[in-house]
Structure 1
Amino acid sequence: MILDDFITITPTGLYCVYGDFYLDPQQPVQQAVVSHAHGDHAIGGSANVYCTKPTETFMKHRYRKFAAVDFHTKAYHQSFKIKDVTISFYPAGHILGSAQVMMEYQGTKYLYTGDYKIEPDSTCEAFEFVKADVLITESTFAKPQTKHPDPAEEIKKLNATSANIMLGAYALGKSQRMIQLINQYCPTRNIMIHFSIMPFVKIYEDYGVKLGTYKMYDRKVMKNNSENQVYIVPPMVFHSYHKAINVVRAFASGWENLQQQNGISLYISDHADWDAILETIEKVQPSQVWTLHGDGRALKEYFGGKLEVKILN
């Protein structure tokens, strides 16, 4: 039997009363199950954090000794219990170490996707479809008109100019994917990395992810070479250098508002688009879909009375 109150939204985050734990809490808690290491899902300070090994490594880098009192790292498919709820992680395909969280209680399976994408990306573990009674899915881009273009074709846009490029990308996940894509599809480009991104790049490589060639940013190189340099910077740096001269600006994101006033629009997302969400629902075969992190109204309308869609946020 599906319990409507299995997961509830509280000011602290998503709470499972039957296991007395939180999913991706926004404040420090006693028991935190963390899907991945992005700052809007993983904060420091909880007493017990259950996550994958890469997520632990990223959190320890970002939060240092305040990452958690105790980490309990689990491999994909490894079952563990918190009170009476059996939990296991499955790859989410979002960033390295990202996990879907399967929770089983009284014979009913509830699958929390966290952030996810199903398209191929060799910088992280491939998304795995797993059947569940309830699919708790992110709905960041859950609109029929949203279709993410092929990332290979998008990154090739950089080849349209020989000018130097300032490329905005999130330090964790997106930057590493950009390094690999540029090496693969824009081989004439020299990639330089902002110093704040470099530790995450090294962690990826420590886990065996091959990104290709890159260098730490060198101002002299950028100044003395007016062509073929790509400087990857985090969002804060990108926006603070809004009037940077002698560079073409681009920002790697699925969000349209982040493409405005840039020289190149670069629609590369690490979230599921409309078609991917529908495919996930088809393969998970849930009896109910609960939506989070976005607008679930289009899904509710699309399925009508054929499948129950509950909007949690």
Structure 2
Amino acid sequence: MIIDDFLVLKPEGIYCRYADFYLDPQLPVQHAVISHAHGDHAKANNHSVYCTAFTRKLMELRYKKQAAKDFILIHYHQEFFIKDVKLTFYPAGHILGSAMIKMEYQGCSYLYTGDYKLQEDATCEPAELVKADVLITETTFANPEIQHPNVEDEIKKLNKIEQNIILGVYGLGKAQRITSLINQFCPQKEVHLHYAIYPIHQLYETFGYQLGKYQLYNRKSLKQNQLHQVYLVPPLTFNSYTRAKGVARVFASGWKYLQKGNDAALYISDHVDWNDILYTIKEVKPKEIWTLHGDGMALKQYFKKDLVVKLL
């Protein structure tokens, strides 16, 4: 039987009262189960953190001694218990080390997706969908009007831009994926990295993911070479280049508002779109859907005659 309050939202985050742990807590807690290393999911100063090996390394890179008091490393498909709840990690396909978290308690299963994507991505493990009684899904792009375009077609847009490009990316996950895609589909381009992104590329490579050619940003090199240079920068740096002359401004994101005012649109997202969410539901075969991280109203309306959809 599905327990309606198996997960509840508290100020600290998503709480499982039946085993006293939090999923991706927003404030420090005693027991944190962390789906992936993005800063809005992996916060510092938790006591015990259950996560994948890459998530731990990235948190240590970002937070140093404040990363956590204790890390318990979990492999994909490894079953473990927190009190009476059995948990298992499955690849989420969002970024390297990202995990969906299946929780089983009193004969009922709950699958928390965290952030996930189904598109092919050579820089992380592919998503693995498993059956569960309750699907707890992100709804970042849960809108029937949103369908992510073909990634190869999108990245090839850069081939039409000869001048140097300032390319806004999120430093973890998106930057590595874009670097790999440029090397694969835009081989004449030279990738330069912002100093905050470079160490994450190197960390990916220690985990066996070769991203192709790239170099640390060299101002002199970019000034001397006016063509085919692509400088990957985080959002804050990108916003500071609003008056840059002689370069094209591009931002890699699934959000339409982030494409406004740029020289080209680059719709590359690391989240599921509407069709991918529907496919996930078909594969997981849940009896109920609980929604997080976005707006679940479209799903609630779509399934009003077939499934219970609860907005957490």
Residue in structure 2 matched with residue 59 of structure 1 by the alignment: 59
Residue in structure 2 matched with residue 300 of structure 1 by the alignment: 300
Q: Offset at 1:177? A: 0.2
Residue in structure 1 matched with residue 41 of structure 2 by the alignment: 41
Residue in structure 1 matched with residue 3 of structure 2 by the alignment: 3
Residue in structure 2 matched with residue 277 of structure 1 by the alignment: 277
- Whether 1:178 aligns to 2:178 is yes
Deviation per residue, 1:159-207 (Å, 9 max, x gap): 1121100000011000000000000010100110111101100010000
Structure 1 unmatched ranges of 5 or more: none
Distance of 2:190 and 2:53 partners within structure 1? 32
Moved more, 51-60 or 239-248: 239-248
Q: Offset at 1:240? A: 1.5
- Whether 1:107 aligns to 2:107 is yes
Deviation per residue, 1:105-130 (Å, 9 max, x gap): 00100000000001110100000010
Structure 1: 4+ residue segments shifted above 2 A = none
Residue in structure 2 matched with residue 215 of structure 1 by the alignment: 215
Give the 3-state SS of the residue equivalent to 2:199 in structure 1: helix
Distance of 2:180 and 2:118 partners within structure 1? 18
What amino acid does structure 2 have at the position aligned with 1:196?
A: A
Distance of 2:122 and 2:189 partners within structure 1? 20
Q: Offset at 1:210? A: 1.3
Residue in structure 2 matched with residue 143 of structure 1 by the alignment: 143
Deviation per residue, 1:259-292 (Å, 9 max, x gap): 0100010000000000000000000000000000
- 5 Å-filtered alignment, 1:81-92, equals 81-92=81-92
Q: Offset at 1:102? A: 0.4
Distance of 1:203 and 1:246 partners within structure 2? 32
Distance of 1:68 and 1:32 partners within structure 2? 10
What amino acid does structure 1 have at the position aligned with 2:81?
A: K
Q: Offset at 1:86? A: 0.5
- Whether 1:236 aligns to 2:236 is yes
Residue in structure 2 matched with residue 288 of structure 1 by the alignment: 288
- Whether 1:154 aligns to 2:157 is no
Distance of 2:108 and 2:198 partners within structure 1? 43
Identity across matched positions, percent = 58
What amino acid does structure 1 have at the position aligned with 2:228?
A: N
Q: Offset at 1:244? A: 1.2
Give the 3-state SS of the residue equivalent to 1:293 in structure 2: strand
Residue in structure 2 matched with residue 206 of structure 1 by the alignment: 206
Deviation per residue, 1:202-221 (Å, 9 max, x gap): 01000000110011110001
Distance of 2:161 and 2:302 partners within structure 1? 41
Distance of 1:230 and 1:126 partners within structure 2? 27
What amino acid does structure 2 have at the position aligned with 1:202?
A: Q
RMSD (Å) for aligned C-alpha atoms: 0.5
Residue in structure 1 matched with residue 30 of structure 2 by the alignment: 30
Distance of 2:18 and 2:189 partners within structure 1? 53
Deviation per residue, 1:210-237 (Å, 9 max, x gap): 1100111100011111111000001111
- 5 Å-filtered alignment, 1:254-273, equals 254-273=254-273
Q: Give the TM-score of the pair, scaled to structure 1.
A: 0.99
